[in-house]
């Protein structure tokens, strides 16, 4: 039996999770929530993480009923993400590794989502739609790499939804994207799929530009606009996912990342899957949204196949592509 602890802090979620082999012992998260209309910035987010990281760590240990002595390997998020918040969790991970003389493993955040999703949903080789506030990628595994078949060429889909929600001054609690899931009248919006890639920033600008006109003339309600934005961007994602599945001959889809909690996205994906006789796998908000367990899961796989990360390489990087990682633990 191997016990792994994972530290996650690449964006506004701070998480520490502990697993014993494939069993989850604890999963504690603390989210930095900004006032309506405001996004989170690196410096303030890092301050939040600094303030809560030791508390969250203690709570995760208490929930798991273990001490750091019992842990076999320390895992942390190396990137991608915001530099300052990443550094906070990396520092704490390195310090506890030193204090208890434990090996440390640097984990790619995206790989964390994928491996956690595969474990929780119980799917062997799915086409993965990774959708969050910072990332939008359509991924499939081939020859020791998670290959990116399609991705956003500008902002992430979650960023597009969050920024639209902030434009309307919707609450950031639990997340702005969640609060736009309510409407029924469809506004015609730009539909931007370029080959296998998608683009969201133009849609957002289009909405910003027409927002006051739509609302002032009472042609559409706020709910209608939210509904229309969701339908449009999700349709784009489903189209590209379906094309990736056809290309690799896959009949499983896994949705991971914070936007993966969205029930409408899951519903639309399910319709596509039914039409193709494929199966949809999704997880709930405990695991979709950034958390420490996903880092422990991916870190433990990495540790079992090729050991820990050499000390001088336990840095953080803001840019770290999913396909940079050599996936030694899969055939």
Binding-site residue ranges for a divalent metal cation: 109, 113, 130, 290
DSSP H or E stretch at residue 254 = strand 252-256
Q: Which of 99, 219, 246, 271 binds another protein (CB under 8 A)?
A: 99
Q: Which of 314, 320, 325, 327 binds another protein (CB under 8 A)?
A: 314
Contacts of 191 (CB under 8 A, 6+ apart): 232, 235, 236
Structure tokens at 256: 């991971």
The one among 13, 78, 102, 118 contacting another protein by CB under 8 A: 102
**Beta-strand relationship, 252-256 and 279-282:** parallel
Query: Diameter of the chain by CA atoms?
Result: 66
Long-range contacts of 48-51 (CB under 8 A, 24+ apart): 48/12, 48/14, 49/9, 49/14, 49/85, 49/88, 49/89, 50/88
147-155, 171-179, 216-224, 305-313 -> range binding another protein (CB under 8 A): 305-313
Of 50, 113, 118, 166, the one binding another protein (CB under 8 A) is 50
Using CB under 8 A as the binding rule, whether residue 82 contacts another protein is answered as no
Q: Segment near another protein (CB under 8 A), from 7-15, 48-56, 130-138, 139-147? A: 48-56
The reply to whether 103 sits near another protein by the rule CB under 8 A is yes
Cβ atoms of 142 and 163 within 8 Å: the answer is: no
CB of 159 to another protein, least distance (A): 23
Residues that bind another protein (CB under 8 A): 46, 50, 53-54, 57-58, 68, 83, 87-88, 90-92, 94-104, 306-312, 314-316
């Amino acid at each position: 039996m191997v016990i792994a602890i994972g530290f996650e802090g690449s964006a506004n979620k701070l998480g520490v999770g502990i697993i014993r082999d494939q069993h989850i012992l604890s999963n504690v998260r603390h989210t930095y929530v900004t006032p309506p209309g405001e996004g989170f910035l690196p410096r303030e987010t890092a301050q939040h993480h600094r303030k809560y990281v030791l508390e969250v760590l203690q709570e995760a240990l208490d929930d798991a009923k273990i001490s750091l002595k019992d842990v076999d390997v320390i895992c942390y998020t190396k990137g991608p993400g915001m530099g300052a918040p990443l550094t906070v969790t990396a520092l704490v991970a390195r310090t506890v590794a030193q204090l208890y003389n434990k090996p440390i493993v640097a984990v790619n955040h995206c790989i964390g989502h994928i491996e956690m999703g595969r474990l929780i949903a119980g799917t062997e080789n799915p086409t993965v739609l990774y959708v969050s506030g910072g990332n939008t990628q359509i991924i499939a595994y081939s020859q020791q790499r998670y290959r990116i078949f399609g991705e956003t060429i500008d902002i992430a889909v979650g960023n597009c939804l969050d920024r639209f929600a902030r434009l309307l001054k919707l609450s950031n609690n639990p997340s702005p994207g969640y609060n736009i899931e309510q409407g029924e009248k469809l506004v015609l919006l730009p539909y931007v799929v370029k080959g296998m890639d998608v683009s969201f920033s133009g849609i957002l600008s289009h909405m910003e530009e027409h927002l006051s006109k739509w609302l002032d003339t009472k042609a559409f309600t706020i709910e209608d606009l939210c509904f229309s934005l969701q339908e449009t961007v999700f349709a784009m994602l489903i189209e590209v996912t379906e094309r990736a599945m056809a290309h690799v001959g896959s009949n499983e889809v896994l949705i991971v990342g914070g936007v993966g909690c969205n029930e409408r996205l899951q519903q639309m994906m399910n319709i596509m899957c039914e039409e193709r006789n494929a199966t949809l796998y999704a997880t709930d908000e405990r695991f979709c949204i950034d958390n420490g367990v996903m880092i422990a899961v991916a870190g433990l796989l990495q540790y079992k196949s090729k050991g820990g990360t050499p000390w001088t390489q336990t840095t953080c990087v803001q840019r770290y592509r999913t396909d940079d990682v050599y996936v030694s633990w899969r055939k």
